[in-house]
Amino acid sequence: PADEGFRSKVDGTMHACGHDAHSTIAIGVLERVVESDFRGTLKVFFQPAEEVVGGGKSMAESEHIRDIDALLAVHIGLDHPTGEIVAGIDGFLAVSHLEAEFTGESAHAGGHPEQGRNAVQAMATAVQNLYGIPRHNDGKTRVNAGVVEGGSAANVIPDEARIVAEVRGETTELMEYMKRRTRRVLRSAAQMHDCEVSIETGAEAPSATSDQALVSVVADVASDTAGVERVLERDELGGSEDATFLMRKVQENGGTACYVGVGTDHPGGHHTATFDVDEESIGHGIDVLAGSIEQISRRQS
Cα separation, 235 vs 263, whole angstroms = 12
Q: Check: CATH 3.40.50.620 for 94-205?
A: no
Long-range pairs of 78-81 with CB within 8 A, sequence gap ≥ 24: 78/237, 78/261, 78/263, 78/270, 79/269, 80/232, 80/235, 80/261, 80/262, 80/263, 80/264, 81/263, 81/264, 81/265
- Residue 128 dihedral angles phi and psi, to the nearest 5°: -55, -45
pLDDT, position 287: 97
pTM: 0.81
What is the full per-residue pLDDT of the chain (301 aa) written as tens digits? 556 666 777 887 777 888 889 999 999 999 999 999 898 899 998 877 666 666 788 888 888 888 999 999 999 998 899 999 999 999 889 999 999 999 999 999 999 999 999 999 999 999 999 999 999 999 999 999 999 999 999 999 999 999 999 999 999 999 999 999 999 999 999 999 999 999 999 888 898 999 999 999 999 999 999 999 999 999 987 788 888 999 999 999 999 999 999 999 988 888 888 888 999 999 999 999 999 999 999 887 6
Say how far apart CA 26 and CA 7 lie, in whole Å. Answer: 21
Given a contact cutoff of 8 angstroms between Cβ atoms, the answer to whether 258 and 218 are in contact is yes
- What is the pLDDT at residue 242? 84
Q: Give which of 239, 162, 241, 146 is closest to 203, Cα–Cα.
A: 241
Residues ≥6 apart with Cβ < 8 Å to 28: 282, 283, 285, 286, 290
Q: How far apart are CA 103 and CA 105, in angstroms?
A: 7
pLDDT for residue 3: 66
Q: Give the CA dihedral 280, 285, 286, 291, nearest 10 degrees.
A: 130
Burial of 160: CB neighbours in 10 Å, binned 0-12, 13-18, 19+: middle
Q: What does the alpha-carbon distance between residue 210 and residue 238 come to, in Å, rounded to a whole number?
A: 14
Task: Using the CB atoms, write b or e for 238-258: b if 16+ within 10 Å.
Answer: eebbbbbbbbbbbbeeebbbb
- Give the up-direction half-sphere exposure of residue 290: CA atoms within 13 A in the CB hemisphere: 21
CATH H-level superfamily of 2-92+208-300 = Zn peptidases (3.40.630.10)
Q: 42-49: long-range contacts (C-beta < 8 A, 24 or more apart)?
A: 42/293, 43/68, 45/246, 46/22, 47/19, 47/242, 47/243
Burial (CB count <10 Å: 0-12, 13-18, 19+), residue 110? exposed
Q: Taking the CA atoms of the chain, what radius of gyration do you get in angstroms?
A: 23
Q: What pLDDT is stored for residue 158 in this prediction?
A: 97
Q: Establish whether domains 2-92+208-300 and 94-205 are of one fold.
A: no
Q: What is the pLDDT of residue 264?
A: 94
Domain edges within the chain? 2-92+208-300, 94-205
